[in-house]
Structure 1
Amino acid sequence: MPDNFEIAYLWVFWLLPLPLLIFWLVPPLRLRSESLGMPGFDKMASYTNEKPRRAALVRRRNFLNWVMLMLCWLLFLAALASPQLVGEPEKKVKTSRNFLVTADISFSMAREDWAIDGRKSRRWDAVKNIMHDFIEKREGDRMGLVFFGSNAYIQAPFTPDLKTVDQLLGEADVGMAGQMTRIGKAIKKGLNMFENDTIETKVMLLLTDGGDDGTDILPLDAADMAKKDSVIIYTIGIGDPDVAGSDLDEQTLIDIAELTEGRYFRAKDEQELAEIYDELDKLEPIEYEEEQNKPVTVLYHYPLAGAIGLLLLSSLVSPIFAFVLNKRREAYV
């Protein structure tokens, strides 16, 4: 019997002895039948001092009838008890936050110093390869995309349609926003997106492999604005700052994260970036709420069909069984 099998109304089986109680407590049904008139019957009764009584025929059921009726009663009770298969309570994903991915697609992200499946790859291709899995896991969040270089632009507004977000991520490529790195401008563009939404929990993921080249708005000024708007910023530095030619400004990314109560991560390769995404899943877990209703598959129709089938079979077999008994009695006589 499966573990998820349940009987909804177990108390119904307390009715199992009910037919026996009725049999013992309720008098049998007496059927009147026509009789022959006998002349002088009253005179004969007076001679014998016997008082005539009313007579009735009480029909007796054979053993087979009793067995089938008891099985039918048991099956009817089983149907009434409502056997069912009950699944686990369904969990509904709570849409609890806006999650904005702000990614650097300046020319430096085209460096082929990362690897995908053991082959050399551009940093941006490796980032996209892992980000696809990350987006898929964020079910329940409303996600958006902002890409930046010399300028920042919205690739995907906040939406729960993660397939569309993933598709728009795949369409972006290095150089589409210019060759420079304007981190402050990217954060400000993300804040503009948060301002037009009512969800209170706001999370920004900022990925870059360079330092800020802009003069419009400084990264820490933009981070201070994010703090006032209760936006948490997690920063990821792409590459190794100790390698010659790296422009990664780790200290600025650390300061942005600390100012907004986020965290800074460094990703030197694809494996480290995947581990960072796993850590982000723990820091910002998907929230579920348990539904009250459970998926239920009712099974009452099986015992009910069995009971009806037995009744039909009994109605067919009983006359045949009675006929055979009568024949045997006649032969014996």
Structure 2
Amino acid sequence: MRIRSSYLEIPGFDKAVNYTAERPRKGALVKRRGWVQMIVLFLSWILILMALSSPQLVGEPELRVKTSRNFLIAADISFSMAQKDWMSEGERVRRWDAVKEVLHGLIDSREGDRMGLLFFGTNAYVQAPFTSDLKTVDELLEEADVGMAGQMTHVGKAITKGATLFEEDTIETKVMLLLTDGVDSGTDILPLDAAELAMKDSIQIYTIGIGVPGNAGSDLDEKTLTQIAEMTDGQYFLARDKEMLEQINEELNKLEPIEFEEKENRPVELLYPYPLGVSIALLLLSSLLSSLIQLVMTVKRKENTYA
């Protein structure tokens, strides 16, 4: 490659030519590519081809929580739940306070489920309809207290009210968690009759008995709670204290696990900027070094000329 460069005019050049009898000749600087420059150009070309091929890094399919069930907590808040016979952090507390603390953890662990809250005593009322906003459900649970639904225990009313709530929703999987520390004292509808209605609507009921059967102040009806669970393909648990209730919570998460599904799109990262950037950097560096070398050679020629 021939490159024109600047030249230096010398006064008296013609006299010097005549004196030396040398014929003036045209001069040119012939630059030749070194092996380093050839390697750089080759690598740059390979990198550009890699960038044009649009390389991609495709990640594993992401999983997202699948909304698979409606989960209703039906909790007894009759006056008997105010008894201070449970321990929490070394202190004697009301049954309801300990139960509520464990239920907070249950709600937090049910990501993907649409949770609902139902409290019952003499009457049954819905505190929270089914929603995926678990934070709101947790706050509404905290606001509930003993006696808000009356002093009696009407299990049949609670199951019937819960079944009505399920009917108003379209999700097929229906799970009810029923917690009580007493025996049904209602006359409107018996617990087993209500359980039969729930069974026909494919509602699965897990029952939890609170307290120690046979102890003073406990009228827990384990037989009825067991029958309710068996009729609806659920399971009965006995929670004598807070620690047992926490274990039941873990067991429920195993029996009704959170389901996941793959997202349609996998995460894709485009990698072409990396080889393209390296190629541009190599070319710029090569060009800079070439210019520096040419500048140094020009300066040396001028110094030799003046010398």
What TM-score do you get using the length of structure 2 for normalisation? 0.83
Which ranges in structure 1 are unaligned for 5 or more consecutive residues?
1-29, 32-57
Aligned partner of 1:38 in structure 2 is none
Q: How does 1:2-17 map to 2 (within 5 A)?
A: none
Aligned partner of 2:231 in structure 1 is 259
Question: SS at the partner of 1:103?
Answer: strand
CA deviation string 1:260-296 (max 9, x = no partner): 1110000000111011111111111111112243333
Cα distance in 1 between the residues matched to 2:57 and 2:94: 52
Which ranges in structure 2 are unaligned for 5 or more consecutive residues?
3-29
More deviation in 177-186 or 83-92? 83-92
Matched, 1:160 2:137: no
Give the AA of the match of 1:220: L
Cα distance in 2 between the residues matched to 1:143 and 1:264: 20
Q: How does 1:27-42 map to 2 (within 5 A)?
A: none
Give the AA of the match of 2:258: I
Cα distance in 1 between the residues matched to 2:110 and 2:172: 17
Q: 2:217 aligns with which of 245, 249, 257?
A: 245
Cα distance in 2 between the residues matched to 1:323 and 1:238: 91
Question: SS at the partner of 2:213?
Answer: coil
Aligned partner of 1:216 in structure 2 is 188
Question: SS at the partner of 1:134?
Answer: helix
Aligned partner of 1:194 in structure 2 is 166
CA deviation string 1:130-163 (max 9, x = no partner): 1111111111111100000000000000101111
Cα distance in 2 between the residues matched to 1:319 and 1:202: 77
Cα distance in 2 between the residues matched to 1:84 and 1:118: 57
Cα distance in 1 between the residues matched to 2:89 and 2:240: 16
Aligned partner of 1:321 in structure 2 is 293
Aligned partner of 1:280 in structure 2 is 252
Matched, 1:236 2:178: no
Cα distance in 1 between the residues matched to 2:53 and 2:94: 65
Aligned partner of 2:107 in structure 1 is 135
Q: How does 1:92-171 map to 2 (within 5 A)?
A: 92-171=64-143
CA deviation string 1:30-52 (max 9, x = no partner): 99xxxxxxxxxxxxxxxxxxxxx
Cα distance in 2 between the residues matched to 1:125 and 1:208: 14
Question: SS at the partner of 2:225?
Answer: helix
Cα distance in 2 between the residues matched to 1:251 and 1:66: 89
What TM-score do you get using the length of structure 1 for normalisation? 0.77
Matched, 1:291 2:291: no
Cα distance in 2 between the residues matched to 1:297 and 1:276: 44
Shift of the 78–118 alpha-carbon distance from structure 1 to 2, 3 Å rule, reads farther
1:76 shift after superposition: 2.4
Question: SS at the partner of 1:289?
Answer: strand
Aligned partner of 1:178 in structure 2 is 150
CA deviation string 1:287-321 (max 9, x = no partner): 11122433334343233222112222322322443
More deviation in 61-70 or 129-138? 61-70
Q: How does 1:36-51 map to 2 (within 5 A)?
A: none
Cα distance in 1 between the residues matched to 2:292 and 2:153: 96
More deviation in 271-280 or 75-84? 75-84
Question: SS at the partner of 2:43?
Answer: helix
Cα distance in 2 between the residues matched to 1:77 and 1:134: 55
Give the AA of the match of 1:266: L
Give the AA of the match of 1:96: S
Question: SS at the partner of 2:128?
Answer: strand
Question: SS at the partner of 1:240?
Answer: coil
Aligned partner of 1:305 in structure 2 is 277
Cα distance in 2 between the residues matched to 1:108 and 1:207: 13
Aligned partner of 1:46 in structure 2 is none
More deviation in 74-83 or 225-234? 74-83
CA deviation string 1:85-125 (max 9, x = no partner): 65542111111111110000000001111111111111111
Count of aligned residue pairs for this structure pair: 278
Cα distance in 2 between the residues matched to 1:73 and 1:110: 80
Q: What is the RMSD of the two structures over their aligned residues, measured on CA atoms?
A: 2.5
Aligned partner of 2:176 in structure 1 is 204
Cα distance in 2 between the residues matched to 1:161 and 1:311: 56
